[in-house]
Amino acid sequence: MAFYFTGTGNSLYIAKRLDNRPISIPQVIHQPQLEFAADKIGIVAPVYGHEVPTMVKDFLKRARFQTDYFYMVLTYGNRHGGAAELAKQFCEECGITVSYINVILMADNWLPSFDMEEQQQIDKDVEGQLASILHDLNARKRMISEVTENDRAAHRQFLQFISQAPDDSWQNLIRITDSCVGCGICEKVCPSASIHLKDGKAVYIPGNCQTCFACTHACPQKAIGLTVPEKNPHARYRNEHISVQEIIQANSQRG
């Protein structure tokens, strides 16, 4: 049993390789009872600011897992900032005993810092990393990915940076332009119901945004941008093995 959170398909791709029928966290988190039992239970999620997304944290807080082997695989694109250690600490706060946490380097979809055209041209040996993780999980290896002092310093630097920003700054990054044609894809790929259509145009509602940028990357008109400068506003990203329809199925909150 594996649960996942995805914005542009990276974590979904990994989850599909680890489990035949991975379960979307946005699709189950609203259930009144979150109790799961299996021989092996995993979480696959990206790291934002070196930690798992807010929705994944909420899921871990509320859910109860009955298993002898709980694991996490965390996808990141540039630096993980000690994500494995931070995830282990959070799980312990939730009363979850973790057997294994590893990180996997993939394309980085953070538009303010990275050009998506360049990211798609870099070979990060995802399959090699994944093969090693699959071997570990099949062997039920118990370990937490190594975290260095440089990793911890990177996270401290990040915390210092966000401490100087307004509290709601992460909720005000999405900008919808006049190029919107009302196709509704953004509404369907948003895992937090932060976008809806009104009078044939997309409207962004801050407050619960996960900053996954699923809406921005999936918009076929590139009508959704950011309120901060982008490295390349003409380039967008989706994992090459994952379709838009799969992301819709994973994230849509309609109905």
Q: Give just the sign of the alpha carbon dihedral 218, 220, 224, 230.
A: positive
Task: Note whether 193 and 110 are same-domain residues.
Answer: no
The CATH code of the domain that includes 244 is 3.30.70.20
Q: Are residues 117 and 180 in the same domain?
A: no
Residue 162 pLDDT: 85
CA–CA separation, 85 and 198 (whole Å): 43
Shortest CA distance to 232 belongs to which of 111, 109, 122? 111
The verdict on 157 and 57 lying in the same domain is: yes
Distance of alpha carbon 9 from alpha carbon 30, whole angstroms: 22
- CA–CA distance, 114 with 96 (Å, rounded to integer): 34
Do 209 and 121 belong to one domain? Answer: no
57-97 confidence digits (pLDDT tens): 999 999 999 999 999 999 999 889 999 999 999 999 999 99
Domain count, the chain: 2
Same domain, 155 and 194: no
Q: What is the pLDDT of residues 4-46, one digit of tens each?
A: 999 999 999 999 999 999 999 999 999 999 999 999 999 999 9
- Token code pair at residue 242: 């994952």
The helix (run of H) or strand (run of E) holding residue 35 is: strand 35-37
Instruction: Write out the two tokens for 183.
Output: 């196709």
The domain boundary residue, chosen from 106, 129, 161: 161
CB 170 within 8 A of CB 110: no
Q: How far apart are CA 247 and CA 6, in angstroms?
A: 7
The helix (H) or strand (E) run that includes residue 90 is helix 83-93
* 212-249 tens-digit pLDDT: 999 999 999 999 999 999 999 999 999 999 999 999 99
Co-location of 119 and 241 in the same domain? no
Q: Looking at the structure, tell me whether residues 224 and 197 fall in a common domain.
A: yes
**Which has more confidence, 171 or 255?**
171
Q: Are residues 110 and 197 in the same domain?
A: no
Please tell me whether residues 148 and 237 are part of one structural domain.
no
255 — pLDDT class (breaks 50, 70, 90): low
User: Residue 134: which domain range?
Assistant: 2-161
Average pLDDT over residues 155-178: 90
pLDDT of residue 254: 83
Pick the more confident residue, 209 or 79: 209
Which whole-number Å values give the CA distances from 180 to 6, 14, 17, 20, in the listed order? 23, 32, 35, 36
Where is the domain boundary, 112, 144, 161?
161
Residues 29 and 135 in one domain: yes
Give the CB-side neighbour count of residue 221, counting CA atoms within 13 A.
15
Whether the CB-CB separation of 36 and 63 falls below 8 Å is answered with yes
Q: Are 39 and 71 in contact (CB under 8 A)?
A: no
Residues 176 and 221 both lie in one domain: yes
For the cut 80, the answer to whether the pLDDT of residue 177 exceeds it is: yes
Domain end residue (candidates: 115, 130, 161): 161
Whether the model clears a pTM of 0.75, i.e. scores above it, the answer is yes
**Do both 173 and 148 map to the same domain?**
no
CATH number of the domain that residue 53 is part of: 3.40.50.360
d(CA 24, CA 253): 12
Residue 87: per-residue pLDDT: 97
Chain mean pLDDT for the chain: 95
Structure tokens at 230: 């982008």
pLDDT one-digit tens code per residue, 98-152? 999 999 999 999 999 999 999 988 999 999 999 999 999 999 999 999 999 999 9
